[in-house]
Structure 1
Amino acid sequence: MNATGAIARFLETDPRDVGCDEAVELLHVYAELVAADPEVAAQRLPGVAVHLAACGPCHEDLVGLLTALSDDG
């Protein structure tokens, strides 16, 4: 990615986005909330929801956790 692309991506970032570090820290909590009720998850942790919508790698981690949770059921 060139510098112009990086700047454009930064400027498009939703200010509510908590970033990877915080999202990963709360991912297990968010996954349990999503498994129970996705709307509640987004209401309780909106910054994580925004981040997961924008960050492919973090979203993939969420999918993995949801799979693990559904396999435990």
Structure 2
Amino acid sequence: MNQMSALDRFLRTEPEDVGCGQAMEMLHVYAELAATDPEAAAMRYAGLAAHLRACGPCAEDLEGLLAALAGPGL
């Protein structure tokens, strides 16, 4: 990724994006709801959903929580 595309992505950040700090505080709550109803989680926690769309590391943390909630794979 070049510097210009990183800058472009930053400038297109959604206004409701809560940022990494708030996302980490609520990620476990979001994950529990998203495990059963992802659409409801995105609607109820719109700012967190906006952040997860923009932040790869936080989205990876969510995936890890969802995997842990799903239990061991087959």
Where on the TM-score scale, by shorter chain, does this alignment land: which range?
Answer: 0.7 to 0.9
1:63 and 2:69 correspond: no
Residue aligning to 1:36: 36
1:54 and 1:6 map into 2 onto residues whose CA distance is 11
Percent of paired sites with the same residue: 61
Q: So what's the TM-score if we normalise by structure 2? A: 0.84
In structure 2, C-alpha distance between the alignment counterparts of 1:54 and 1:8, rounded to whole Å: 12
- State the superposition RMSD in angstroms: 1.7
Residue 8 of structure 1: how far off its partner (Å)? 3.4
- Structure 1: runs of 5 or more not aligned: none
Aligned to 2:22: 22
1:10 Cα deviation from its structure 2 partner: 3.0
Could you say if the C-alpha distance between residues 43 and 22 of structure 1 is closer, same or farther in structure 2, counting changes exceeding 3 Å?
same
TM (normalized to structure 1)?
A: 0.85
Alpha-carbon distance in 2 for matches of 1:57, 1:7: 17
Bigger proportion of residues as helix: 1
Equivalent residue number for residue 52 of structure 2: 52
| Structure 1 residue ranges, 4+ long, deviating more than 2 angstroms after superposition | 4-10
CA distance in 2, matches of 1:54, 1:23: 12
